[in-house]
Amino acid sequence: MIVVTGTDTGIGKTVAAAALAWRLGAAYWKPVQAGLDEETDSEAVARLAGVEVFPEAYRLATPCSPHRAAEIDGVTIDVHRLMPPPGRVVIEGAGGALVPLTRELVYADLFARWGLPVVVVARTTLGTINHALLTIEALRARSIWVGGVLFSGDAMPDSEATICAMGKIRSLGRIPMLDPLTPETLRAAAATLDLTGIA
């Protein structure tokens, strides 16, 4: 069982989670979905990876940070409902590691409660070194084992190497921007990842 978090929102984290779930033969779970107007992350993973998808604990209509989406929707997020399902599962957070679930709890706190390894998805654009190293530090400050970084986007060898060296973390590989994004292109990208020791 592993958790997937990111350095930001909209960086390819769901595609990465789908690739990991397919490659590991795992199910998928997104604890909180905020925003229901377009294809949800769970629906995207089901379509792309063809794996079992557990229903979200919370489905919030407003597309913003879960803590605020819950307030707008009149919902109280109970962290006791956010317990991972049994078996081999890839769990995807929302946005980055410090995105708030409530006014008192960020995703990294939840990951620490679970005691599960985390994979960081980092997009290969300007700013990624800072964002990735901050994310790794925030996770390790909570005694979370970071199993590796999975890059998303065009190859940026120096940035990728710098993150791995300075963050003392290994690269799991890179998923390029897939166009078209189909089950076939996703699985081809997933097959290139180095997941040794991840799950």
Helix axes 183-190, 41-49, angle to 10 degrees: 80
Task: Give me the catalytic one of 1, 17, 20, 30.
Answer: 30
47 and 41 Cβ atoms separated by less than 8 Å = no
Q: At what angle do helices 13-24 and 183-190 cross, to 10 degrees?
A: 70
- Alpha-carbon distance of 152 to 182, in angstroms, equals 16
Measure CA 79 to chain center.
18
SS3 assignment, position 24? helix
3 state SS of 50: coil
Q: In whole angstroms, what is the distance from residue 108 CA to residue 176 CA?
A: 26
The residue among 94, 97, 93, 162 whose CA lies nearest residue 127 is: 162
b/e per residue, 64-85, with b = 16+ CB within 10 A? bbbbebbbeeebebeeeebeee
Q: Catalytic: 13?
A: no
Q: Which residues are catalytic?
A: 30
